[in-house]
Chains A and B, each alone.
Chain A
């Protein structure tokens, strides 16, 4: 029984907090630079921005030792299976940041060669705009992800949250029917 299967009870919130704190403070990104955004990602590791202040100094070369994938750069159709394989090889729990507009939506490359958003391939937790985003923006995205990890429910709570999210998604208007102010 792993920590994911923790039983419900009054202790669980404390456990959640603790586990969240541990997890967020030791995120290890996998080295996964695809294009120009990777340069900014590397810059985030330099002493000026110093990503190690958040316990993330080790960009692991092996997905098995990493729990955060920063998809930095446009994902070409050819690269998509590789992205997915690296993601699959990462151990749970794992998170994905889609860095830059090309990874997030294809950006200005609205063409046949580029996957129009890496979320077609892997589930994305945080989208980060910018072309490329400056290192502060990446740090901001990572901190946003930290908050999300800190607040992540476990065990039964997690199941409940997942169910609620699924029910909400079923009820929601399909994206294609969302009109907003458009007429």
Chain B
């Protein structure tokens, strides 16, 4: 670029913007006569016209416009149809997380406390929503489809600590016919059967187990109406 093409301030000698090649000239044809006189008021026409158009404003807190179905909102830890947790505490979500927002600790499933099919369950599951960027890589990493995202986005809160969601905050509520964990797996099944979707719901053995060890469990009430000793949930 030659020196002539750029402006140069006289005093400081700084380099400025390129010098315009020529004086500015509008490409639009100029108005004439009445048009030029009414030009300042013409803009109101737009205003008036829009008064008769439908309003675009969303009345957010009063009427919530649904998000797109695949919107990345708050996470959810899902359950198998019989109520066992899908999360096996493998930490792959934590590994995938680019913002280091997820903390997981696994633990042993024991006969006394079987939370998920197989050997391992997520004992600690925390998502720090002040780190999470809702990118969804954790969802892609999850080998059991335990972690998915909801469309819920109302997350603001007054403390940092409150923005760390624990496992109980993230677990999906019990669906119809689900039995709250912990309880044993469906007899005769392996964890693979759960992943293949071969388990349709709690079986009487599981319901009896919960009835024996946690008779006050709320999920039991729906599955086992008072006075019935056998359930027909399967």
Contacts and interface: CB of A to CB of B under 8 A. Distances in A.
Interface in B162-197: 163, 166
Nearest to A148: B158
Given A131-B135, A148-B158, 18 more contacts: A47-B56, A48-B57, A48-B58, A49-B57, A50-B57, A101-B131, A104-B163, A105-B130, A106-B131, A128-B156, A129-B163, A133-B153, A136-B60, A136-B64, A137-B154, A140-B156, A181-B105, A181-B166
Interface of B: 56-61, 64, 98-100, 105, 123-124, 128-135, 153-161, 163, 166
A159 to B, nearest CB: 20
A140 B154 contact: yes
B158 A110 contact: no
A101 B166 contact: no
A156 interface: no
A153 interface: no
Contacts of B58: 48-50, 136
Which 5 residue pairs of A and B lie closest in terms of their CB atoms, listed nearest first?
Answer: A131-B133, A141-B156, A108-B99, A105-B130, A129-B129
A58 B99 CA distance: 34
Interface of A: 47-50, 53, 101, 104-108, 110, 117, 119, 125-131, 133-134, 136-137, 139-141, 143-144, 148, 175, 180-183
Nearest to B162: A127
Contact of B124 (A129, A144, A181): A181
Contacts of B99: 101, 107-108, 110
A129 B157 CA distance: 9
Contacts of A133: 153
A93 B123 CA distance: 44
Contacts of A110: 99-100
5 contacts: A107-B99, A108-B98, A139-B60, A140-B60, A140-B154
A80 B16 CA distance: 30
B133 A108 contact: yes
A144 B158 contact: yes
